[in-house]
Amino acid sequence: MTIRELQDEIIRLKKAKGVCILAHAYQGQEIWEVADYIGDSFGLSKKAAEVKEQTVLMCGVRFMAETVKMLSPQKKVLLANPIAGCPMADQMDTDLIAQMKESMPDYTVVAYINTTAELKTICDVCVTSSSAVKIIRNIPNDKILFIPDCNLGDYIAKQVPEKELKLVRGGCPTHLRMTKKDVERARKEHPDAEILMHPECHPSIVSMADFIGSTTEIMAYAEKGTGSEYVIGTEKSIVEHLGYKCPEKSFYPLSKDCVCHNMQATTLMDVYRAVKGIGGEEIIMSDELIAFSRKCIDEMLRLGK
Ligand code: 13P
Ligand code: SF4
């Protein structure tokens, strides 16, 4: 079977079985081409709740499938490849954060969406990389405990200096692979290019970027921008996707090592097997877990208005 034949079979099966396929932006181009919606984890979860299909297949990592389930508890939610986790989401121990919360009663606990459903149950407000600054500005309390990404936390703290942000040591191992040397090399090799960077990168290099934004914001900036060359400081798949979207522009990875092996674990064959009903994993969450974990997401929606 060729890639094209497999894609055609996935498209035929998803229509016949009423499956909506969601792909996070970091999935490969061959998965993008069979997806109904592409985006970031929160955008996809909102889409999943709106679509008529009663089965939703998430091509991404586990916390994303959990978020889909929280917002669509009545739907059958599948994770295309059960081994695809997020090391950052798995970094924080719920009991430890619960202890911190107890010892800091005057702090509002804000969680990046890249956290497990279990951890979300003890958090007050959830944020995404694109909504974090706005949401935190809108929280009435000035004292914030931000988990789990201290790099994103540092970026937010600089944007919202009026708030006191306490950070914990956590972060995305993929984005931390990019270094100052990579930025210096990119400036030398591509002097006319703008460097676009995700705030999950280390603060020492975020300060060297021309534009800082979430994956969706980086893509929109590069697509709409008048420049012809861009260096992409986020997961390497975005370089390829932008190349397909804007073939007349040149895109370079800030580092060839910025690859999320969890995101890349999902293959087109995994998607096929999950749509066919012989693969993937159904996300099962108790009513209690759904109710408690989605409270911080509802709070994000309220504060984001
Ligand atoms: P965004 O898609 O929200 O920018 O997040 C990046 C990421 O690391 C997803 O796991
Ligand atoms: Fe997690 Fe980073 Fe991979 Fe995103 S890129 S899934 S935050 S490890």
pLDDT over 90 at 268, yes or no: yes
Nearest listed ligand to the Cα of residue 262: 2
DSSP assignment string, 189-255:
H-TTPEEEE-TTS-HHHHTT-SEE--HHHHHHHHHH-S-SEEEEES-THHHHHHHHH-TTSEEEES-
Q: How far is it, in rounded angstroms, from Cα 64 to Cα 85?
A: 9
| Residue 40, ligand 2, Cβ within 6 A | no
Give the residue whose CA is nearest to atom 7 of ligand 2.
Answer: 172
Give the residue whose CA is nearest to atom 6 of ligand 2.
Answer: 86
Q: Given this model, what pLDDT does residue 96 score?
A: 94
Dihedral sign from CA coordinates of 217, 219, 223, 228: positive
Nearest listed ligand to the Cα of residue 175: 2
Longest CA pairwise span in the chain (Å): 59
**pLDDT tens-digit profile of 85-138?**
999 999 999 999 999 999 999 999 999 999 999 999 999 999 999 999 999 999
**pLDDT tens-digit profile of 151-186?**
999 999 999 999 999 999 999 999 999 999 999 999
42 band by pLDDT with thresholds 50, 70 and 90:
confident
305 band by pLDDT with thresholds 50, 70 and 90:
confident
Q: Which residues contact 261 (CB under 8 A, 6 or more apart)?
A: none
Q: Coil, helix or strand for 165?
A: strand
| Residue 53, ligand 1, Cβ within 6 A | no
Q: How far is it, in rounded angstroms, from Cα 69 to Cα 58?
A: 10
Please state which CATH number belongs to domain 3-85+263-284. Answer: 3.40.50.10800
Q: Which ligand 2 atom sits closest to the C-alpha of 235?
A: 5
Domain boundaries, given as residue ranges, for the chain: 3-85+263-284, 94-172, 175-253
Architecture of domain 94-172: 3-Layer(aba) Sandwich (3.40)
For the segment(s) 175-253, the CATH number from 3.40.50.10800, 2.40.50.140, 3.40.47.10, 2.70.70.10 is: 3.40.50.10800
